[in-house]
A and B are shown apart, each in its own frame.
Chain A
Amino acid sequence: MGKQTDVWQGTLVMMVLKTLDVMGAMHGYGIARRIEQTSGDRLEVNYGTLYPALLKLEQEGYVRSKWGVSANNRRAKFYELTRAGRKQVERQAREWELTADIVASFLRLGEEQ
């Protein structure tokens, strides 16, 4: 395991939404673990940012939460995407692809000549 990087504020929201989109309802800890796994453990999710981010998404109506029971029989608060949330995933994914593309083309500058 190499040095873990903190997740940038803006990207975390996109990762949370996408994770919920793929995995369905999950609790906060599960979301964090999943994000870390997906990144090949190169990222470490800061819980101090995760919970406020989840709350913000809930206030904006992109996710909703309810209490349930986890696979190993623990009570936990589960989050899932709303319909607006699913649309938001697509929108954010498009924006990120565009941004990544633009940044990549700048990084390529000079290589081509």
Chain B
Amino acid sequence: VRGLRAFLLRLAGLFRRESWEADLDAELHSNLELHVDDNIRAGMSPGEARRAALLRFGRLTAAKDRYRDRKIISSFGDLFRDLRYSARLLWKDRLYSTTIVVTLTLCIGGAVTSFSALYGLVLKPLPFEHPERLVEVTTPIRGRGPQTSYWSWTQYRDYQQHANLFDGFAGMSPSTLVFDRGSEATRVDGQLVTADFFDLMGVQPLIGRFFAEEENVEGAHRVIVLPESVWRTDYLSDPGVIGQSIRVVGEPDYTIVGVAPRRLQVFDPAAKFLAPFRVQSRDADPQLRYSRSGQFSASTRWSPFERPEANEAGEIVDGTDRSG
């Protein structure tokens, strides 16, 4: 490390030649005068003292040359000579060199790969406010264990209204729309979210806005939010997309209202749109609270995220009435 530091300073010396050369001259001159002073004190005449001192400093040109060599990397010739020498040595003992290179490659590669995987899977926090307080809520189903994807709208409303230990609840559900692009229709995968989803994650729109509560209702005007990646590639980062409409097969047009920042894409990197979850009247029927069929189709997965407000006690008690 000290060697590297010295090397960098010497490299810098290349570019500041003026200042260090003046500095060295001043230093040598002052030291010469000190020597003269000493000699006078030792009883020499001023002329004699200076002559004697100059004799000692006589090799100063050599000193300066050495100093200069030390101060800067005098030529890149040295560097190339060193490189060529190293290359020749490596070539001379090819088997040995290859073994080392392969060993290093495997070790570094292995370490980097496993660390990246570990970091991505375990260590990397979610890119949201207080990621440690963000939890995924599961519903236990007898014989099948906790299920993240079986939530009914009513259940979600129950939690949202009664489970007061939490800052909020939000849900997300994969969905597919068929975009009508004039000559062709394209199936596009995205996510339906509840209006409070963005608030809960503490995310602001890049441009435009996110959804309003009333847009979570069937029959509301169709709105859509584009993920940042889609906006950047398909719409060339055009801020004018806000207010444009997208034609969708079998549905009224959707209006683009905002662009969501990239970090929201951790939930579904492949999602090409975010749209409000639209509750249909039958979804709100309390009788259907715990019956999965008829509320959300089998493909509808419902994964509410909640953020416990106080879980120091180690347990989270929800306030919903499960007897219903």
The residue that A48 contacts in the complex, of B9, B27, B31, B59, with Cβ under 8 A, is B59
Q: How large is the interface on A (under 10, 10 to 19, 20 to 34, 35 or more residues)?
A: 20 to 34
Q: Is the CB of B37 within 8 A of A72?
A: yes
Residues of B near A29 (CB, < 8 A) are 31, 34-35
**Binding site of B, secondary structure by majority: helix, strand, loop or mixed?**
helix
The residue that B37 contacts in the complex, of A28, A50, A74, with Cβ under 8 A, is A74
B316 interface residue, CB < 8 Å from A?
no
Q: Is the CB of A59 within 8 A of B10?
A: yes
A49 interface residue, CB < 8 Å from B?
yes
The residue that B70 contacts in the complex, of A33, A46, A56, A77, with Cβ under 8 A, is A56
Given the interface pairs A46-B59, A48-B62, A60-B2, the reply to whether A55 lies near B35 with Cβ below 8 Å is: no
- The complex places the Cα of A36 from the Cα of B30 at a distance, in Å, of 19
Q: Is the CB of A48 within 8 A of B30?
A: no
B63 interface residue, CB < 8 Å from A?
yes
> How far is the CB of B285 from the nearest CB of chain A, in Å?
75
A75 interface residue, CB < 8 Å from B?
yes
Q: Mark A25-53, 1 if CB is under 8 A from B, else 0.
A: 00111100100000000000011111110
| Residues of B bordering A, CB below 8 Å | 2-3, 5-6, 9-10, 23-24, 26-28, 30-31, 33-35, 37-38, 56-57, 59-60, 62-63, 66-67, 69-71
Show 10 A/B contacts (Cβ-Cβ < 8 Å), sorted by A. A27-B31, A47-B59, A48-B60, A49-B66, A51-B67, A59-B5, A60-B2, A62-B2, A70-B34, A84-B2
